[in-house]
Structure 1
């Protein structure tokens, strides 16, 4: 028994990837979580019409951790339209027709919740029994967490599952000698990569259709836009995942090593997929989302499902996925040189 334990310990110590996953990966992930979920220096902006609010309320709001933006009467009346056109305003405070205070938010989110919390604290300091109504441009206060973040899980499943399958399969092809024998034929490296991508792309299409239809028609996940654009995005995201898995497989000699790279390649992308508003991430770390393919897929799916966007609104994210796929295709084509030089 002790001899077996010693052998396992020696093998693990000699495997640098295993040591990294056991000792380093948890520290890196915890550090990332600390940075992303720690105290944010973001200060919400609240739009008000100063002439329509009592001075004590304005004073109370100025004492809160918010920025006040003076709006015209027409802008306050068209609060939803204004929020839809101005991303720099998180909430609008106004009087409703029955003289109750109304807070209009863009959507249920952490940013909006912070703004509403500051407003409510100001109101409570003046009148603890004051009634406040909530209104949203998109979504509503009663929607479930699944409805709010369903688009994130669609993107994650589409990317992660295809990445695992393709990465492991390509490593198995190489370790079994299939790839080397294939490269001994006149086939080009680019054709090899395209063949794998198209092959797994067929299953990606089936997976995308199954996940989207099941989520919308069985789980009742609401979608404001055309599901065709959701399917297109998920297929592109899955195709990118195939190429990403192929890239990772170049640096792995076994299926286990593909799994060992997940904490460094996939988990960080989860935090930038839309679970946390990028504006709330301190130290400018939100900009890291632009180098992560899941961000583009999740942003496009959210645009369609939550905002009802069409191709004219989501095309930058679609273009981002195409660019990622093209770059990964070039990397994989060059990586095959170590197996055969043409």
Structure 2
């Protein structure tokens, strides 16, 4: 991560385009507050600096160093910006958080950095059809608590949706969110968000209403396998028999944080066989005890390993036909790809 330059330097907090920048952030972060992960309307979000803009120079320098960021890191660049709701942006939300929890900040910064090119593209392209874009922005900014605004939307928004469908039918779809909670042997219950489009809602109707199986029970059979796969991958990061200085062996990981979002729910039916897939993203933070031959060749060094793990997965549930209790015949995690960052402290 480096300081902004060129065209990208024009897309930053305070550059005169904050409403457009806020719209881009709100859209690309999935219409959610990045801090509490709850779905939010555009009007209920603000632009937040992940590395706080208001910190004193000394505290900011220490935080940048802890996050392995350069001293000239541009806090107003989109790689440091995200949409946040007012409660999370207050003294009881992010203001009360321990920002020295570096792994947590790194997760947010990596996500912002990955979205940065799309944020810049959306903001810079806004002016290409300025009149239309500004009209749509005003519509998004409308306060629907106003009865006249609600009446106008009820009367005219269907025409806009129809025009959108003429460009691409999938663009006229919309997403709803469902939160399900699981006790998976972690320090606290895990909330999993299901982001559902029309196809996803149809899939859950088939599973719950036709087969009579609550989705929480279906996912509850597959998520423990996903948790175990993630823990095994975290442990494997420091199980290295060819490590410099001698073989390293890691103990079982301690889980500090897990976040799971399912963003694609679909089904396929072949005769009596129903196959349902739940695909999504996984984020986890772990620490491990690591031992290695000491540098002097006598005894062992005890080290601490920290792992930040992200990935995509697919859980599948298969019914060979109707069953008495609606339970699937097979539930498995058949796909998981991981991106891992490990840090070792002597």
TM > 0.5 fold call = no
- Provide TM-score, normalisation by structure 1: 0.24
Q: By percentage of residues, which structure has more helix? A: 1
Q: By percentage of residues, which structure has more strand? A: 2
**Greater relative CO, 1 or 2 (CA 8 Å, sep 6+):** 1
